[in-house]
Amino acid sequence: MAGNVVNLRMARKRKTRKDRETKAEQNRISFGRSKSERERTDAENERITRLHDAGKRETDDISSED
């Protein structure tokens, strides 16, 4: 019946460290880019948005003109 004894204080600290490291990794990805990399990404997103919008159909809604 003797199972592994878990020290809850150490388990909480381990979880907190893991959570902080995960958050730090996300921040390094998000904020650790140079200005040119951010501008290139923004330009690429704008280009994709324009291509997507160009493919949309325009509907002629006759009822709204009346």
Domain that holds residue 36: 11-49
Considering the domain boundaries, does residue 26 fall inside one?
yes
Q: How far apart are CA 60 and CA 8, in angstroms?
A: 66
pLDDT tens figures, 2-33 = 678 889 999 999 999 999 999 999 998 888 88
Cα-only R_g, the chain? 26
Residue 2 domain-assigned (yes or no):
no
Residue 33, domain member (yes or no): yes
Q: In degrees rounded to 5, what are phi and psi of residue 47?
A: -65, -45
Task: Judge whether 23 lies within some domain.
Answer: yes
- Residue 21 forms part of a structural domain: yes
Torsion of CA 51, 56, 57, 63, to 10 degrees: -130
pLDDT bucket at 39, cuts 50 / 70 / 90: very high
**Assigned domain for 22 exists:** yes
Q: Considering its fold, how many domains does the chain have in total?
A: 1
| CA atoms of 42 and 28, how far apart (whole Å) | 18
What's the whole-model pTM score?
0.46
| pLDDT at residue number 32 | 85
Residue with tokens 């690429």: 44
Digit-coded pLDDT (tens) for 27-37? 988 888 889 98
